[in-house]
Structure 1
Amino acid sequence: MTRFAPLVRQGGPVLDLACGSGRHTRLFAGRGHPVTAIDRTLAGVADLADQLPGRSAPELIEADLEDGSPWPLPANRRFAAVVVTNYLHRPLFPRLPGLLEPGGLLIYETFMQGNERFGKPSSPAFLLAPGELLERIGRQLQVVAFEQGVIDFPRRAVVQRLCAIADPAPRPLPPNQAEG
């Protein structure tokens, strides 16, 4: 995350999807971004209002993204970045590009097949197939970086990482370069 965080529009809103303990909510809030954090339970981020003095507290939304409940955000809400880590719910893939403003970044990292050698998750339902993240997202967004393989930090695991950008809004050509 820290590698791609500087690419996010300065001061742009960030969505931390399935935020867990709020590691990335804290990172982006500390960089001056308004952050919306969504998770099934907010126990891991309950302390954030007290730990970020002088900055607006993150918007915390408790929602189960897998139980069929309505999407917890307005349909027109867009973000400068959407961050997803250590979470895989494949039905969300089609929604992710639509959450980004023009030029917005999707930063996604989760476990892939082979991780069962090192621990959990080990169920195939929670492990990406080789190249799956690139295949699912690469058709909809411009891929800036894609990696897959074994990592040693914060613990040994097999992961896929992707950073992709939503196409910026098309800009009109100057009159002398217009076609036709």
Structure 2
Amino acid sequence: MHGETRLKPAASTPASPWLRRWMPLAPAGATVLDVACGWGRNLRWMRDEGFRVTGVDWDICALSDVEGAEIIEADLEDGSPWPLPGRTFDVVLVSRYLYRPLFPVLEESLADGGLLIYETFMQGNEAYGRPRNPDHLLKRDELLTAFPRLSVVAFEQGEVETCGSGVVQRIVLSKDARPRRLDNT
């Protein structure tokens, strides 16, 4: 996934619909960790919604204009220690990123009662473009078993059309077994 420095897309690219759908479950002012935050489309939206956001990525050049968020430059795949040891967050977000060795760390970074919101590409996406490497594609239903100590709140997988077509898997997990419900559902 590493390579050339990423160029910042237009500021009008919206945050993930999956994220926007499930963030109402988080308490107002919640602490949020955006893992592999890229150029910050989700991070910016969460900050604008009043959440206290920390973003981590190996290339933070596209985030130089972000104010009101903690930005940490760290390569999550080079064997270095986790850049946020001992810290927990009300919400941990992973969008369009897969590095399976981080699964236990993500779970440990979740505060009691917290939410893990995860979405990324899965097998079948090869027909639509990148990523094509099987190491960067989830297997069918993989996220359902990747975090055994968390409770499933919502799950879906299959073909989508957001920022282009692709095949994705999405899940929302809770660190407690209490059911959660949106007021408008």
Question: Which TM-score applies when normalising by structure 1?
Answer: 0.86
Identify unmatched segments of 5+ residues in structure 1. 50-56, 170-180
- Matched residue type, 1:72: P
Check conservation: 2:123, 2:134, Cα contact below 8 A.
yes
- Matched residue type, 1:153: T
Matches of 1:161 and 1:45, distance apart in 2: 25
Matches of 2:23 and 2:130, distance apart in 1: 27
How far did 1:44 drift? Answer: 2.0
Runs of 4+ in 1 over 4 A off after TM superposition: none
- Matched residue type, 1:147: E
Is the counterpart of residue 63 in structure 1 residue 74 in structure 2?
A: yes
Check conservation: 1:37, 1:58, Cα contact below 8 A.
yes
Check conservation: 2:34, 2:43, Cα contact below 8 A.
yes
How far did 1:125 drift? Answer: 0.7
How far did 1:140 drift? Answer: 1.6
How far did 1:94 drift? Answer: 1.2
- Matched residue type, 2:158: G
For residues 84-163 of structure 1, the aligned pairs below 5 Å read 84-137=94-147, 139-163=148-172
Matches of 1:40 and 1:97, distance apart in 2: 20
Question: Which TM-score applies when normalising by structure 2?
Answer: 0.84
Is the counterpart of residue 9 in structure 1 residue 9 in structure 2?
A: no
How far did 1:168 drift? Answer: 7.0
Matches of 1:126 and 1:93, distance apart in 2: 14
3-state secondary structure, aligned to 1:135: helix
3-state secondary structure, aligned to 2:47: helix
Matches of 1:78 and 1:8, distance apart in 2: 14
Q: Select the structure of larger CA radius of gyration.
A: 1
Give the alignment's Cα RMSD to 1 decimal: 1.2
- Matched residue type, 1:140: R
Q: 1:132 to 1:168 in 2, by over 3 A?
A: closer
